[in-house]
Amino acid sequence: MNIVSKDIAKAVEILSNENLVSIPTETVYGLAGNIYSEKAIKKIFAMKERPFFNPLIVHIHSPAQLTNIVSYIPAKAQLLADTFWPGSLTLVLKKKSIIPDLVTAGKDTVAVRIPNHPVTLELLRQTGFPLAAPSANPFGCISPTQSLHVSNYFEGKLSMVLEGGSCQNGIESTIIGFENDEPVLYRLGSISLEEIEKVIGKVSVKNKKEKSPNAPGMLSRHYAPQTTTYLVDDAATFIKDFPNQKIGVLIFNKKIDAPNIVVMETLSLQDNLKEATSKLYATLHHLDTFELDMIVAERFPDVGLGKSINDRLNRATKK
């Protein structure tokens, strides 16, 4: 059964009946349900096998909807929203009581963003209710950036994947919360920390928390291929120690040669970190199809979006 469709009206019908639809965004495909339906939200956690202590992100289509969801907007949060919405920025703000605790993992804050994708913005306008939508993958696996990734994960379990093409930015949103009105980065994402700080000044970083995380993406093991993956400083040197292993290499801007490299993926020969970021997950999905003994990823420049790529690869790798 082909679950991939461009039928927005059908997606609205499915969501209105408290079922789930995978939705395209500019970051990754999400697994969406009505935030006000306990039945739908429980289905999200069950389908992803996601722990209930890990909060979800609420998606809205208009800044005017924000005051229906949150009780307080710090000045710096408003500035960020004005600058980056619609787009790949999630804000964690004090929630209104109407937002179910199931969505927020019992916290008094809610993560919210306006996605920058025409299909999902139109869907949100038509549903009349916001959507909770974590990435549409089993918990801990590589996030999907194409409808095919989602249907491969959930064929036979999910009513519909709303087709929206390949995700332009390729990794999840950047998440910013506020503690005593001061901004805190909870998750590196497809807007760099440097871009955020140009708008609001210095931001503290607290992006790792195993117990009761403030936001998605804070757990140490996440975004992982099925194939054992290593993140190293020098891939060419590392793979010399494994002459009998079938190896796939993921690298930024060059090519290396060794007899045991089965497949090598270079993310940007033009040294473009934005291009590399947009290709990251799709490339990991591709490498996972080769029945390799290991994937070896070489660390990216730790600046701008390189920090976000390294964060994802570090959480995906064998420690």
Per residue in 266-317, pLDDT (tens digit) is 999 999 999 999 999 999 999 999 999 999 999 999 999 999 999 999 998 8
Answer for the pair 22, 154: CB distance below 8 angstroms, yes or no: yes
Q: What per-residue confidence (pLDDT) applies to 208?
A: 73
How far apart CA 190 and CA 25 sit, in angstroms, is 12
Q: Residue 98 class from Cβ within 10 Å (0-12 exposed, 13-18 middle, 19+ buried)?
A: exposed
* Axis crossing angle, helix 75-84 with helix 193-200, rounded to the nearest 10: 120
Tokens 């790792």 found at: 208
Distance CA 59, CA 91 (A): 11
What does the pLDDT average to over 99-109? Answer: 96
**211 confidence band (pLDDT: 50, 70, 90):** low
Provide the 10 A C-beta neighbour count for residue 215.
27
Domain with CATH 3.40.50.11030 in the chain: 229-316
Helix/strand/coil for 278? helix
Sign of CA dihedral 39, 41, 47, 53: negative
CATH 3.90.870.10 residue ranges for the chain: 4-205
Mean predicted lDDT score pLDDT of the chain: 94
> Which one-letter amino acid corresponds to residue 89?
L
pLDDT in tens, 36-93: 999 999 999 999 999 899 999 999 999 999 999 999 999 999 999 999 999 999 999 9
**Which residues have C-beta within 8 Å of that of residue 272, sequence separation ≥ 6?**
none
Give the class (CATH, top level) of 4-205.
Answer: alpha beta
Q: What is the pTM of this model?
A: 0.95
pLDDT tens readout for residues 131-144 = 999 999 999 899 99
Phi, psi values for residue 290, rounded to 5°: -95, 0
Cα 24 to chain center, whole Å? Answer: 11
| Confidence (pLDDT) at 207 | 82
pLDDT digits (tens, 9 = 90+) for 148-190: 999 999 988 999 999 999 999 999 999 999 999 999 999 999 9
Q: In this structure, which topology does domain 229-316 adopt according to CATH?
A: Rossmann fold (3.40.50)
Asked whether the predicted pLDDT for residue 20 surpasses 70, the reply is yes
**Which residues make Cβ contacts (< 8 Å) with residue 184, sequence separation at least 6?**
176, 177, 178, 203, 204, 205, 206
Percent of the chain with pLDDT over 90: 89
What 8-state DSSP symbol labels residue 42?
H
With pLDDT > 70 as the criterion, what percentage of the chain qualifies?
95
Hey, how many other C-beta atoms are within 10 angstroms of the C-beta on 263? 16
Secondary structure letter of residue 258 according to DSSP: -
Residues 6+ apart with CB under 8 A from 277: 169, 170, 171, 190, 305, 308, 309
